[in-house]
Structure 1
């Protein structure tokens, strides 16, 4: 690749709190989670950047970070994963997603950090790095980075392939992006189209509506265990099935799909080749255990075990 892989979007701090449940709380009928370990990792666009860096690419992440403990923790995690961060100022607090888990299942997810915030203006270095990118991935989590006007202008002007992973609460892609990668729920929310006779027909109709509305080169709708459907100009949709049965934690599978497609396009692959590679990568990711096993050791190393319960102050669950 002639330049870096540039990931643009909203980064969150994800924390998985693992524990065991052996009793109910005495003052209300809820389980008590005795914490045994917790693992912090970058989420959102940060997770996509880590995935790309794990493939050996030079990766630049353009994201908004708050000046707080969560932002500092993300900076450490991203640096350990080999990701160069070009931060935008975030006036609010770092968004966090905390999953309380026991026996391989999520008991509760606790979000904090407030709603979307308007990020600060990008520095000139940010605009230059987008200009010289080999491929750009916009990882939109609906929190404001993809709406930043100067960033949108730079994304519209770059000659690099642009892959746009959308969010229903986010903005439309800039015109002319190479590939948009919603899942089937997202595409229906984005186009507000009625369901068709079959699942594939619904996905195909939504993909074509979105492609025309956003003036995108192609739309690949991810279908979970059934692979993906690719809609692009002048042809019937292409259904790309998964090469293997994959069951497990799908957290991050959409990010893995978008990253794989973007890296393939950056190497000069055809759209159909890029989507086939992305389906294979995302399927293998889920089959291998998902985010718990996919991240480099410095990112997924658990801290020393501590103990708490649902209702404890450290995890902030009332």
Structure 2
């Protein structure tokens, strides 16, 4: 690696509120959660950036943050994780996802931030950053950063490997990305491929459709605990099985997969090697306890 790994995309503030439920609300048949702890962390592109930084990479994040408490909190958490933040101005509010949990299960998710705003123009320093990157991950969460015209032009022009983690509400990848990494539902939604005779056949048709439409070098459709299917040059897709099968909290597993693949490409791996490494790391991530266990201590202990 000669330049930073650059993550581009929408960053959310994730908050997990843990508590206990011992009674129902007297005026409505819903559980009452007595809060015991809460923890904040970066979500979306921010989480992918934190994962890459935790592996020792120099990481820069190009995202959009509003001038509000949630945006300030994200800046604090990302800086604590060793991520350099290049923030585009964002009208409105920073998006937040608040999960109310009891005994490890999510009871309710409360979203804040409203409709996505339109991010402002990137500074010249951001465009230079993309030109000098060792690899770029576009982590699209459908809130507008991946649509920004100047960023898209810079992404199309960079010589670095580009990994595109798409969202059904987001734009198409810029032409010629090295690797796209949709999960199964995203691939079906993006291609409208009907169910085939088998799960793998359906995934392969979706991957090939996206590869042709986006002129991508390769598309890896992630299959949850079953690994991933890689469609690249040639007629036979590569099925990469997960080395570890485990049940657990899968929140952030897609971000772990995409960041691991991008980091491997930045370090000179072939696409097939990058996907194999990403499957192994995402599987170990779920087996090891998910996002709470994977976050570096600096994020857990960042001042409020």
Pairwise same-fold verdict (TM > 0.5): yes
For 1:132 and 1:235, locate their aligned partners in 2 and report how far apart those are by CA, in whole Å. Answer: 34
State yes or no: 1:171 paired with 2:171.
yes
**Contact 2:16–2:39 (CA under 8 A) maintained in structure 1:** yes
Q: Tell me, what secondary structure is at the counterpart of 2:193?
A: coil
Q: Which residue of 1 aligns with 2:191?
A: 191
In the alignment, structure 1 segments of 5+ residues that lack a partner are 305-318
Q: Tell me, what secondary structure is at the counterpart of 2:209?
A: helix
**Contact 1:53–1:83 (CA under 8 A) maintained in structure 2:** yes
State yes or no: 1:234 paired with 2:234.
yes
Q: Which residue of 2 aligns with 1:251?
A: 251
1:24-53 deviation per Cα after TM superposition (whole angstroms, max 9, x unaligned): 001110000000000000000000000000
**Contact 1:39–1:302 (CA under 8 A) maintained in structure 2:** no
Pairwise CA distance, 1:301: 4.0
**Contact 1:37–1:303 (CA under 8 A) maintained in structure 2:** no
**Contact 1:63–1:85 (CA under 8 A) maintained in structure 2:** yes
Pairwise CA distance, 1:234: 1.7
Q: Which residue of 2 aligns with 1:314?
A: none
For 1:69 and 1:231, locate their aligned partners in 2 and report how far apart those are by CA, in whole Å. Answer: 42
Counting only pairs closer than 5 Å after superposition, residues 82-231 of structure 1 correspond to structure 2 as: 82-231=82-231
For 2:88 and 2:303, locate their aligned partners in 1 and report how far apart those are by CA, in whole Å. Answer: 29
**Contact 2:76–2:302 (CA under 8 A) maintained in structure 1:** no
**Contact 1:39–1:301 (CA under 8 A) maintained in structure 2:** no
Q: Which residue of 2 aligns with 1:268?
A: 268
What is the alpha-carbon root mean square deviation over aligned residues? 1.1
Q: TM-score, normalised by structure 2?
A: 0.99
1:46-98 deviation per Cα after TM superposition (whole angstroms, max 9, x unaligned): 00000000001000000000000000000100000000000100011000000
For 1:261 and 1:58, locate their aligned partners in 2 and report how far apart those are by CA, in whole Å. Answer: 15
Pairwise CA distance, 1:247: 1.1
Q: Tell me, what secondary structure is at the counterpart of 1:60?
A: strand
Counting only pairs closer than 5 Å after superposition, residues 298-309 of structure 1 correspond to structure 2 as: 298-301=298-301
Q: Which runs of 4+ in 1 moved over 6 A?
A: none
Pairwise CA distance, 1:167: 0.2
Pairwise CA distance, 1:115: 1.3
For 1:142 and 1:302, locate their aligned partners in 2 and report how far apart those are by CA, in whole Å. Answer: 28
In the alignment, structure 2 segments of 5+ residues that lack a partner are none
Greater mean alpha carbon deviation, residues 66-75 or residues 109-118: 109-118
For 2:180 and 2:104, locate their aligned partners in 1 and report how far apart those are by CA, in whole Å. Answer: 32
For 2:158 and 2:255, locate their aligned partners in 1 and report how far apart those are by CA, in whole Å. Answer: 22
Pairwise CA distance, 1:300: 2.5
For 1:73 and 1:207, locate their aligned partners in 2 and report how far apart those are by CA, in whole Å. Answer: 37
For 2:120 and 2:200, locate their aligned partners in 1 and report how far apart those are by CA, in whole Å. Answer: 41
1:200-252 deviation per Cα after TM superposition (whole angstroms, max 9, x unaligned): 00000000001001110000000001000000122310000000112100000
**Contact 2:48–2:256 (CA under 8 A) maintained in structure 1:** yes
Pairwise CA distance, 1:302: 9.0
For 2:24 and 2:301, locate their aligned partners in 1 and report how far apart those are by CA, in whole Å. Answer: 30
Q: Tell me, what secondary structure is at the counterpart of 2:43?
A: strand
Q: TM-score, normalised by structure 1?
A: 0.94
**Contact 1:37–1:302 (CA under 8 A) maintained in structure 2:** no
Pairwise CA distance, 1:303: 8.4
Q: Tell me, what secondary structure is at the counterpart of 1:173?
A: coil
